[in-house]
Structure 1
Amino acid sequence: MRTAMLALAAGLLLLRFLPQLPPVSALPFILAAGLVLLPFRWRAIGCFLCGFAWACLSAHEALDDRLSTERDGRTFWLEGTVSDLPDVRGGVVRFELVNISSRHSDLPSRLRLAWYGGPRMQAGERWRLAAKLKKPRGLVNPHSFDYEAWLLARRIGASGTIKAGERVSVAAGGPGWRDQLRQRLLAVDAQGRSGAIAALVVGDDSGLSTTDWRTLQDTGTVHLMVISGQHVGMLAGLLYGLVALLARWGIWPRRVAWLPCACSLALAGALAYGWLAGFEVPVQRALVMVALVLLWRLRYRHLGVWLPLLIALDAVLLLDPLVGLQSGFWLSFLAVALLALVFRGRLGSWSWWRALGRAQWSMALGLLPILLALGLPVSLSGPIANLFAVPLVSAVIVPLSLLGTSLLWLPGVGEPVLWVAGGLLAILFDALQWLAGWQPAWLPASLPFWAWLLVALGTLLILLPPGIPFRALGLVFLLPLLFPPIDKPAVGQAEVWLFDVGQGLAVLVRTHDHALLYDTGPRYGDFDIGERVVLPSLRTLGVSGLDLLILSHADSDHAGGASAIQRQIRAGRVVSGEPARLPASLGAEMCRSGDAWEWNGVRFTLWQSPRARDGNQSSCVLLIEASGERLLLTGDIDVDTEQLLLTSDMPLEVDWLLVPHHGSRSSSSTAFIEATGAGGALISRSLHNAFGHPHPEVLQRLHTAGARLYDTAELGAIRIRLGRFEPVLGLRTKRRFWREK
């Protein structure tokens, strides 16, 4: 039975690793073959085929529900219901819309929308909206968060922005009540931590700031501020224990069997808490396992640990196979499996403090391979932080928060309880912030598959019980973490990454021993592309420090992420065309024409207009030459600046040209394009941007000059190995079945 269940899970999970889906016409035959094999000795193969067919069919259904290419970027009038708690941050209302009706019958059934400066909205309300819709699309960079996979896992068929709208009907039923409860919690005086209480009670994280999330990530305690499986299990255990305690004290009515009541109350409480949380994957897993444990308690049948975990795994995947695309799914189930591996079968009993310590360091070590595979940061202070944060949150803060919430209907009763819970949360966050400042999260360089396998084997050996032979080899197998095998350019060559940062610019240039970053991407309020995209990409590419940071000019789309990057990876020097407009903490120097240097046989030369009148004209231009192959980075220079550059001493015949100002009509004159003679033209921009970049006239000039276009909006991040005269690599060309080309 367990073999068949494992095979079923393997078939369902295989979806995550497919470069493309098998055709729909083949799926009935795969399913039929699996069903035929089920009654025979090959039932494990049959389960695998059935799971695989069901997963692929589910993925095809989600992909077919995406916005069509013909409707991409268009505005539609539609009507729909707000499905979940709207997220309001920085004056932007973000929400998901379902039950959609429109005269265009082929619109997706679920949309993710943003309303800048929009009114207050509640879950369950029905709205009539004018929305500009876009196909699901995200930034594609080295080992970065895959937004498109996340959207598909949530079955979101399009994203968009609201132009206008009106409320058709008010919220009714459960979703509206849940939203009202969230608003009530956010209004409570909880010593500045009402947002954290709302996160623990109803699963709404909009009340947590960017600083809060950074602190939680650095200390490995993110799982404590969302409604996770341990919270659900803890609540079920408390309710069961309450009835059991009443029965032991003789208070429980003798005519009523206490055990069925205890199990029913525990399951009802867990289901209610799961509903408040929105039934996310960790909650689904916990509910299934709680139900199985309670069933075992009623039937007095020992199920073990692994069978309930397998049943929960198969149940969650069968319910929605696309959850395998989410990082939280893997972390949730692997965490439980690790605890089962560490504690099951041990001889003797451990004290609670020893068990808690063992659990924390085992989790920190055991989850390391999956964190590396998913490109997630590793918290070095996590074992210490969780040692006191887990019991405090699970055993004290969550019960107090739930108790205070349930008593809010009594005036003057629930608020003091929540005030105490908020005070404990404030103390907790102060302690976590100190730990985060002492030891922030570590994002190691990406490892090749063979090195990752060694690390995974090493962690498994270390976690095995004492006495197992060759456990000490586990420490040796972890050495790739300390000395990652990084593919560095040869002397005389340079590796250039044009990152996919949307409507902005960030270019990494790396030689054998040096690294330079040209611009840092944009920043939009609290959303910092430099911190969210550029910095993780630098870390996973093995860049631990920058010799030089060049900020072409001070506009936010080019220098918005500079402060975040300088905090994490301090550059030896910072040079800019507009140092006076940048934060003083950067210590930027003026870009000077004619400055030149050489790193590992690669030559660099700077230039800036002597007649600059604005920021764009002040852009610092960089020429890179490696073994005769040249690349020109131009910032946002305009036509007038281009004419000055043509009359300068800078050699302009290049192989690669970064098209000035993202392809704006005010740049890329015919004379400039012809003078460069570039065979490849690079454009950094976002799809359907509000500026209309690149302009059709610019594209025509490049086409006439014979330049081939390489666009981050179409290709994702672009890699050029300068000095090797070889084709470029666009990360979007790497096949993923969920990724739009």
Structure 2
Amino acid sequence: MAGAFAIGIVGEFVFATRAVIPWVGGAGAGIALFVFVQWWDRTQIVTLAPLGRIVAIVLILGCAGGARHARHQTPSPHALKPAAEASTEATTLQGEVADAPERTDDATRFVLKADTLYGAQDTAAVDGRAHVTLRASPWAEDVGPFPDVRQGDIVRLRGILRLPPELRNPGGFDYRAYLARRGICCTMYVGEPERVNVQRNRRGTLESLLVGAREYIRLQIDRYVPSAEAQGVLRALLLGDRSRVTDAQRERFAKTGLMHLLAVSGLHVFLVGMVLYALLRPFLIRFGMQWRTVEIARAVLTILVLGGYMFLTGGRPSVVRAVIMATLFIGGIVFQRSAHPLNTLGVAALILLAVRPPALFDVGFQLSMSAVAGIVTLNPRLLDAIPERYRASEAVDWLVSTGTVSAAAILGTAPVLLFHFGWVSAAGLLLNIVGIPCTGLALSAAILMAITGGMWSLAGASFGSAADVFVQGLLAASRYGVEWLSWAGIRMATPDAWGLGALVAALIALAQWPRPHLRWRWVVAAFLFATLSAWEGAIGRDSGPALNAVFFDVGQGGATLLTTPEEHHVLVDAGPRSPSGSAAEFVILPYLERWGIQELDAIIVTHPDEDHLGGVPALLREISVDRVLDNGRSASSELYEEFGRLIEQSETSRKTVQRGDTLLTGSSVRIQILAPPRGESAQTKTKNNASVVLRASYGEVDLLLPGDIEAGAEKNLVRTYGKQLGSEIVKVPHHGSSTSSTPGFVQAVSDSSEGVHAVISVGQGDRYGMPHETVVSRWERHGMTVHSTAEDGAVWMRTDGQEVWQVHWK
């Protein structure tokens, strides 16, 4: 049933009809088919009525899913999104704080359910949700604290209203799609406290209790838990608030397969609710209650506690799923009815999708469902494969059971992880044996701390210290896991549909192992998919060795990664840096991590401007860099001083390059330095004209990267090299500025052949008048195919040494 409903959601997503009536018509046809099949079954001795009923039910539920998704996606006549699209300056917005704000040392974030938009001339009613960030501008001085904002408050804000950024780079994060799946259409940034006006609150009794409970738990955590890092983890475990968990900690948990321990999920629901359910029985029996009364009482109490915990943690899909399954399980005990775990999982999925259909495309929803499905279907097969003699004692049996459950969860989530992240860690198979007990004990101690801390300080301090110790054990498991086991796993940087199909079929075959007739069908299917995957990788122009050039979208700046057929990696420039972070952190490092690149053979800094040098310090801190090459020019900036200091502290070598130098990167690709010329000339006195210009050659294809050179340096290159500048791929100088791309230079570069690609690395919004229309038309008149990172996001070009083509990575 849940599968059919999900198919309908996918159908509406693909066809994007935004119309409910066709789906309702399809459901009506399904009902008519069901009625007909029922009548047919009564009039015939031998019929296909069972099959007909299944088809009718699938059709009804599929159309119901499509109709629900179409209704959910239908925009409101007062939608907030058009206002965000049209907004060019500060906007005043009023609404209700819809969730528990997440507070860090420098920012407060929450979702605003907007109802009123204040314009310069009038006021309009709006309907939409915005993700709001209250944070002082990094350039502001002496900014006071922002007002304390709580869930249910009615606030009036004045700030920058924008659409969330889309996916702009391979390996990046599609923030717009992520928020859209949560019903959030736009973002708002407020940089000054006086622009936040808390008017009143609209909290009911339940919401007031939740707000008070969250504040109380935060107070107890801060009061009794000694270390700041343990406080952050316990906030995540008890409240679902991961704002105090550092990026480094999240990365370690993700790399070691322990991320599920930070996300409130079935494990936490089991510890909070099911342990309570088990303990309530002997407690209630002491009051002389009958069996039926005891079962009903403990069922009601446990479900109430689980419901409260669900609301306390923000109602995340994994928690809702676990609470629904626990409720169905407890209800089965009370009414003495048993249900297969997959059926309860299906009911939970059906309820979640009926409430919020886009959850189907949410990674968290997919991981939650696939993990439970893996445990239910695969864990029994893994346990059956282990001889009884290895499970003689309770301790050994617990270790074996923990290991098989972890393995089943890892296998169940592997297709989802490979598709979305390109990596599935096997380290969790061992680390969960330590991580799960530490998480359970830490959560249990924290719950006892919260219960006793307000009444008995000694007990609160004791339980808080114990929780801290267990959290430190969990953090140590992730830390040592990264050091020792980060290599253990499977990588699939680019999703392979046939390969994933083979993996899914193999897992189904394992789950169906006791049923030979089904087992071998899925084994054959897995073999077939694996064969198709192998053939797809062996034929076609993407199958052979190639030179890849990825022109990252780093905003107003430049960063290009060259990857040779021998897997050598050369980064030319690293984009800009701002107070909120650098392009290396948000763009380059995620790409390197997705593709498993742990070392750069070289970083070439064309010139020391901030929009080209800004990301280099972050790269020097995070990954191994063999050498750094630049033009030898210095700059009077803190960034340049930090750059030089980090090179001295690391084992990275540094060299100045000039015209005539050659960079060896394997046997197939040759990188020549064309500029700056040796010795200072009139053309290289300006910092842009002193840029390093390089040409990478692979087979019959040349790639030209000229930095930010302008007219003077271009004329020097044309005079020196003439038609030798001809290239099949060229990065347009100086972001398409009118001071570059002179007619003579464009003519010399485009003389090589037809089908030449020109890439402009430039920020969105045309803030600096780049790229200039005249420059773009000049390149196009010479037969160039012009690509712009402002319009297309990152541009990925690939060549086999003869042909050049664009890789469509989205």
Normalised by the length of structure 1, the TM-score is 0.85
2-structure distance, mates of 1:563, 1:305: 51
Give the Å deviation of 1:157. Answer: 1.2
AA aligned opposite 2:129: R
For residue 59 of structure 1, what is the aligned residue in structure 2?
A: 73
For residue 352 of structure 2, what is the aligned residue in structure 1?
A: 316
- Equivalent residue for 1:712, pick from 768, 785, 789: 789
Q: Contact conserved, 2:214 with 2:312, CA < 8 A, in 1?
A: no
AA aligned opposite 1:340: V
- Equivalent residue for 1:495, pick from 548, 558, 563: 548
For residue 475 of structure 2, what is the aligned residue in structure 1?
A: 429
Q: Contact conserved, 2:236 with 2:264, CA < 8 A, in 1?
A: yes
- In structure 2, the residue corresponding to 1:167 is in which secondary structure? strand
**Is 1:454 matched up with 2:502?**
yes
Q: How does 1:465-484 map to 2 (within 5 A)?
A: none
**Is 1:177 matched up with 2:204?**
no
Q: Contact conserved, 1:619 with 1:637, CA < 8 A, in 2?
A: yes
Q: 1:316 to 1:137 in 2, by over 3 A?
A: same
AA aligned opposite 1:593: R
- Equivalent residue for 2:764, pick from 687, 692, 701: 687
For residue 592 of structure 1, what is the aligned residue in structure 2?
A: 658
- Equivalent residue for 1:148, pick from 164, 176, 181: 176
For residue 196 of structure 2, what is the aligned residue in structure 1?
A: 166
Q: Contact conserved, 2:220 with 2:449, CA < 8 A, in 1?
A: no
Could you tell which deviates more after superposition, 113-122 or 51-60?
A: 113-122
Could you tell which deviates more after superposition, 69-78 or 231-240?
A: 69-78
Give the Å deviation of 1:269. Answer: 0.9
**Is 1:187 matched up with 2:222?**
yes
- In structure 2, the residue corresponding to 1:397 is in which secondary structure? helix
Q: How does 1:599-614 map to 2 (within 5 A)?
A: 602-609=669-676, 611=680
Aligned Cα root-mean-square deviation (Å): 4.1
1-structure distance, mates of 2:260, 2:535: 30
For residue 91 of structure 1, what is the aligned residue in structure 2?
A: 106
Q: Contact conserved, 1:139 with 1:501, CA < 8 A, in 2?
A: no
Q: How does 1:199-238 map to 2 (within 5 A)?
A: 199-238=236-275
Could you tell which deviates more after superposition, 75-84 or 353-362?
A: 75-84
**Is 1:356 matched up with 2:392?**
no
Q: 1:479 to 1:197 in 2, by over 3 A?
A: farther
2-structure distance, mates of 1:591, 1:480: 47
Give me the identity figure in percent: 24
Deviations 1:532-568 (A, max 9, x none): 5434534655767654433334556445554665677
Give the Å deviation of 1:726. Answer: 5.5
For residue 6 of structure 2, what is the aligned residue in structure 1?
A: 9
Could you tell which deviates more after superposition, 226-235 or 717-726?
A: 717-726
Give the Å deviation of 1:386. Answer: 0.8
For residue 510 of structure 1, what is the aligned residue in structure 2?
A: 563
Could you tell which deviates more after superposition, 111-120 or 333-342?
A: 111-120
Q: How does 1:550-561 map to 2 (within 5 A)?
A: 550-554=604-608, 557-561=611-615
Q: 1:235 to 1:38 in 2, by over 3 A?
A: farther
- In structure 2, the residue corresponding to 1:133 is in which secondary structure? strand
Q: Contact conserved, 1:210 with 1:526, CA < 8 A, in 2?
A: no
Q: Contact conserved, 2:156 with 2:199, CA < 8 A, in 1?
A: no
- Equivalent residue for 2:731, pick from 658, 662, 679: 658
1-structure distance, mates of 2:317, 2:279: 27
Q: 1:592 to 1:150 in 2, by over 3 A?
A: same
Q: Contact conserved, 2:2 with 2:346, CA < 8 A, in 1?
A: yes
Deviations 1:639-676 (A, max 9, x none): 55545545544744444432334345665566655654
For residue 325 of structure 1, what is the aligned residue in structure 2?
A: 361
Give the Å deviation of 1:252. Answer: 5.9
For residue 47 of structure 2, what is the aligned residue in structure 1?
A: none
- Equivalent residue for 1:112, pick from 121, 127, 131: 131
Structure 2 unaligned residues grouped into runs of 5+: 38-52, 138-144, 392-396, 635-639
For residue 736 of structure 1, what is the aligned residue in structure 2?
A: none
Q: How does 1:64-83 map to 2 (within 5 A)?
A: 66-67=81-82, 71-83=86-98
AA aligned opposite 1:111: A
Could you tell which deviates more after superposition, 47-56 or 277-286?
A: 47-56
For residue 123 of structure 1, what is the aligned residue in structure 2?
A: 150
Q: Contact conserved, 1:552 with 1:576, CA < 8 A, in 2?
A: yes
Structure 1 unaligned residues grouped into runs of 5+: 733-741
Determine which structure has more spread, i.e. the larger CA radius of gyration: 2
2-structure distance, mates of 1:528, 1:387: 37
Q: Contact conserved, 1:444 with 1:539, CA < 8 A, in 2?
A: no
- In structure 2, the residue corresponding to 1:588 is in which secondary structure? strand
1-structure distance, mates of 2:265, 2:551: 38
Give the Å deviation of 1:452. Answer: 2.5
1-structure distance, mates of 2:587, 2:282: 52
- In structure 1, the residue corresponding to 2:157 is in which secondary structure? strand
Q: Contact conserved, 1:517 with 1:548, CA < 8 A, in 2?
A: yes
Give the Å deviation of 1:520. Answer: 3.8
Q: 1:458 to 1:559 in 2, by over 3 A?
A: farther
Give the Å deviation of 1:729. Answer: 4.8
AA aligned opposite 2:149: Q
2-structure distance, mates of 1:451, 1:72: 44
- In structure 1, the residue corresponding to 2:155 is in which secondary structure? strand
Give the Å deviation of 1:273. Answer: 0.8
Q: How does 1:253-272 map to 2 (within 5 A)?
A: 257-272=293-308
Q: Contact conserved, 1:506 with 1:518, CA < 8 A, in 2?
A: yes
Give the Å deviation of 1:201. Answer: 1.4
Q: How does 1:357-436 map to 2 (within 5 A)?
A: 357-394=403-440, 396-410=441-455, 412=457, 413-436=459-482
Give the Å deviation of 1:316. Answer: 0.6
Q: Contact conserved, 1:13 with 1:321, CA < 8 A, in 2?
A: no
- In structure 2, the residue corresponding to 1:367 is in which secondary structure? helix
Deviations 1:287-337 (A, max 9, x none): 211111121121111122121111111111111000112111111001111
For residue 534 of structure 1, what is the aligned residue in structure 2?
A: 588
- Equivalent residue for 2:282, pick from 228, 236, 245: 245
- In structure 2, the residue corresponding to 1:407 is in which secondary structure? helix
Q: Contact conserved, 1:67 with 1:107, CA < 8 A, in 2?
A: no
For residue 50 of structure 1, what is the aligned residue in structure 2?
A: 64
AA aligned opposite 2:63: L
Give the Å deviation of 1:428. Answer: 2.2
Deviations 1:128-185 (A, max 9, x none): 3233222333233335433232121012212243355132326663375366346525
1-structure distance, mates of 2:462, 2:769: 55
Q: 1:618 to 1:452 in 2, by over 3 A?
A: farther
- Equivalent residue for 1:134, pick from 149, 162, 165: 162
Q: 1:492 to 1:380 in 2, by over 3 A?
A: closer
2-structure distance, mates of 1:209, 1:113: 20
Q: Contact conserved, 1:200 with 1:401, CA < 8 A, in 2?
A: no
- In structure 2, the residue corresponding to 1:80 is in which secondary structure? strand
2-structure distance, mates of 1:493, 1:275: 52
Normalised by the length of structure 2, the TM-score is 0.78
Q: 1:206 to 1:573 in 2, by over 3 A?
A: same
2-structure distance, mates of 1:98, 1:695: 41
- Equivalent residue for 1:438, pick from 465, 484, 493: 484
1-structure distance, mates of 2:610, 2:531: 40
2-structure distance, mates of 1:306, 1:365: 17
Q: 1:110 to 1:613 in 2, by over 3 A?
A: farther
Q: Contact conserved, 1:444 with 1:542, CA < 8 A, in 2?
A: no
For residue 41 of structure 2, what is the aligned residue in structure 1?
A: none
